[in-house]
């Protein structure tokens, strides 16, 4: 079994804003692309254009419709990948030592040459964040794009995970949670960053920013009179233009 480090120098992770995420799946596509078309370990697909396609993804987006006690129903898009837990059960259950947590930055990785595909880590992960690659027979998971964030051949703005770089809504943030002055630490403190399933005791590094309350129907009713048309019937030039367009 693999032992976890008692302490890591840094705690690199993601801060995901559930209020901003629009569920476009750009993070899913960029993750798949970077880890298949570029430097990362390929993520296979099976019968991609068949009747029952399947494949390996390190990041997925789930959508849920919720009905709060106050206000209208909301559609929440929930991205999920490995949370790089401080007390990662996927590491301690691994019989070959293939799963491990790095001391220098806290990233949880898999040494695929040592992985035997037994699936114990997937069974131990309470978040369902590990996937068995059917083509290679080994477990795959989010690496926080470790091949990007330390790559000095890339421009500095690209030295972040692919999902963060590509998010059009700016819903994904990357940084060091061990540094209280980092952007992710400050934003998490300001917006009440939350752990996913804290009752599991895994101490996930990744955090989520909760959705903000949406407009209530009462607030919309107050605005309704302001949205009424200025005139019921067009006059002057606008009246002539309407009649002319109707004839076309």
Tokens matching residue 107: 């990233």
pLDDT in tens, 35-85: 887 665 689 999 989 999 999 999 999 999 988 776 677 899 999 999 999
Q: How many CB atoms lie within 10 A of CB 101?
A: 22
- Residue 226 pLDDT > 80: no
Tokens matching residue 184: 């992710």
**What's the pLDDT at 222?**
62
**What's the pLDDT at 247?**
81
**What's the pLDDT at 230?**
61
Region 168-173 average pLDDT: 97
Give the mean pLDDT of the chain: 90
Using pLDDT thresholds of 50, 70 and 90, give the confidence band for residue 223. low
- Residue 24 pLDDT > 70: yes
Domain-by-domain residue ranges, the chain?
A: 12-214
The answer to which of 18-22, 73-77, 103-107 has the lowest mean pLDDT is 73-77
Query: What is the spatial distance between Cα 22 and Cα 67, in angstroms, rounded to a whole number?
Result: 18
Sequence-ordered alpha helix ranges (H) in 52-143: 89-92, 120-124
Collapsing DSSP to helix, strand or coil, 184 comes out as helix
CATH number of 12-214: 3.30.70.20
Fill in the DSSP letter of residue 51.
Answer: S
């Amino acid at each position: 079994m693999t032992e976890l480090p008692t302490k890591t120098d840094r705690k690199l992770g993601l801060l995901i804003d559930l209020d901003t995420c629009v569920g476009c799946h750009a993070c899913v596509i960029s993750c798949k692309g970077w880890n298949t078309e570029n430097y990362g370990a390929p993520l296979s697909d099976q019968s991609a254009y068949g009747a029952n396609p399947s494949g390996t993804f390190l990041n997925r987006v789930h959508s849920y419709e919720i009905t709060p006690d106050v206000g209208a129903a909301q559609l929440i898009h929930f991205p999920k990948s490995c949370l790089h837990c401080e007390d990662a059960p996927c590491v301690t259950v691994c019989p070959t030592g293939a799963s491990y947590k790095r001391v220098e930055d806290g990233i949880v990785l898999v040494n695929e040459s040592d992985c035997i595909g037994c699936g114990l880590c997937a069974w131990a992960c309470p978040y369902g964040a590990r996937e068995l690659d059917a083509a290679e027979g080994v477990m795959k998971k989010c690496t926080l794009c470790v091949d990007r964030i330390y790559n000095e051949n890339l421009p500095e703005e690209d030295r972040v995970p692919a999902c963060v770089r590509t998010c059009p809504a700016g819903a994904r943030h990357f940084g060091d949670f061990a540094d209280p002055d980092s952007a992710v630490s400050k934003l998490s403190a300001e917006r009440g960053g939350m752990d996913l399933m804290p009752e599991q005791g895994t101490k996930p590094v990744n955090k989520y920013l909760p959705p903000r309350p949406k407009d209530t129907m009462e607030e919309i009713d107050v605005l309704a009179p302001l949205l009424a048309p200025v005139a019921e019937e067009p006059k002057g030039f606008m009246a002539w233009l309407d009649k002319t367009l109707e004839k076309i």
